[in-house]
Amino acid sequence: MSYKSLHFYEIENAIEDSLEEVLRGLIGKQKMIPPKYFYDEVGSNLFVGITEQPEYYLTRTEVDIFRCYLLEIVEEIGTNCLLIEYGSGNSEKIRVLLESLRPCAYVPLDISKQYLATAARSLAKEYPWLQIHAICLDFTDEFELPFSLNAKRVGFFPGSSIGNFSRLEAANFLGRVRRLVGEDGGMLIGVDLKKDPIILRQAYNDAKGITRAFNLNVLNHINKKFRADFDINKFEHLAEYQRENGCVAMYLSSIENQKVNMGGSEISLACGEQIHTENSHKYSVDEFASMARESGFSNQKVWTDSNTWFGIFYLS
């Protein structure tokens, strides 16, 4: 698909809608669903709803830091780079940087195909000067860009999505980005920092119940994708800060003994049994800087808000 300066690619083999992968997660001792299944179109829209909740300080704080330190950030990165956004969603945050950063091309990467296509089209209309190469893929796999453009590569990974990885996975992910951007490249990344657990608890349990709806929607998505019959009314949303792991863990707790069918297999859940759906790890500035160093990014620059709730790092 081509739309003026917009190109669309799909790295097919990276997107295995793997029934087996999901089944494996649901028959283990601690049941789990990989968080990438949150993001069908409904889930992507619910996520935008979450970012608008007063308790969800992350998006607001991150965007404020971008606005406040825009010139310094642009000076660090330099104009004319090839800007690659991991998990671009509605491509909202990049809008804060685009006019100043003036990249030679923008490469949004996302697993949610329709959502990516719609977001890329509306960005192309709004920024006619911008060359866009949208790629639908799973960014947890190693990949190469399906086009060639000779420019400094800079990864962009806002929203503290890095927190969804375990510490080991996060280090491996940073290593993969480091390989993709090469010797001269860099990465601009938003990281949620450690703070009062009460603030964290509220952020993932908003009063309007949008995070609850987002969490439950993963079951609807699994139902559609894998012919399953989860009844979302039989589950409860749980999100708690686990101090020992430094992360907010999200679960769906079964409110009764039940059996669920999925692609011809039966899954049993006891009353109170929990399906783990997401982790959001929180870092101190030093913890994250040292992980980045170990992953091959020897230089780090960091900007934070006045409460030190959120950090934006430029790694190179």
Ligand X SMILES: C[S@@+](CC[C@H](N)C(=O)[O-])C[C@H]1O[C@@H](n2cnc3c(N)ncnc32)[C@H](O)[C@@H]1O
Does position 45 interact with ligand X (CB under 6 A)? The reply is: no
- Residue with smaller CB distance to ligand X, 155 or 158: 158
Q: Least distance to ligand X from the beta carbon of 39, Å?
A: 3
The site map against ligand X for 59-98 (x = CB under 6 A) is ----------------------------xxx---x-----
Q: What is the 3-state secondary structure (H, E, C) of the chain?
A: CEECCEEEEECHHHCCCCHHHHHHHHHCCCEECCHHHHCCHHHHHHHHHHHCCCCCHHHHHHHHHHHHCHHHHHHHHCCCCEEEEECCCCCCCHHHHHHHHCCCEEEEEECCHHHHHHHHHHHHHHCCCCCEEEEECCCCCCCCCCCCCCCCEEEEECCCHHHHCCHHHHHHHHHHHHHHHCCCCEEEEEEEECCCHHHHHHHCCCCCCHHHHHHHHHHHHHHHHHCECCCHHHEEEEEEEECCCCEEEEEEEECCCEEEEECCEEEEECCCCEEEEEEEECECHHHHHHHHHHCCCCCEEEEECCCCCEEEEEEC
Q: Which stretch binds ligand X (CB under 6 A): 36-44, 127-135, 196-204, 278-286?
A: 36-44
110 touching ligand X, by CB under 6 A: yes
- Part of the chain binding ligand X (CB under 6 A), chosen from 66-74, 110-118, 234-242, 255-263: 110-118
Site map (CB under 6 A) of ligand X, residues 145-174, x = contact? -------------xx-x-------------
Residue 22 sits in the site that holds ligand X (CB under 6 A): no
Count of positions on this chain that bind ligand X (CB under 6 A):
18
If the CB atoms of residues 205 and 258 are measured against ligand X, the closer one turns out to be: 205
Among 138, 236, 273, 305, binds ligand X (CB under 6 A): 138
Task: Kindly state whether residue 280 participates in binding ligand X, applying the rule CB under 6 A.
Answer: no
Confirm or reject binding of residue 39 to ligand X (CB under 6 A).
Answer: yes
Q: State the residues that interact with ligand X by CB under 6 A.
A: 36, 39, 44, 47, 87-89, 93, 109-112, 138-140, 158-159, 161
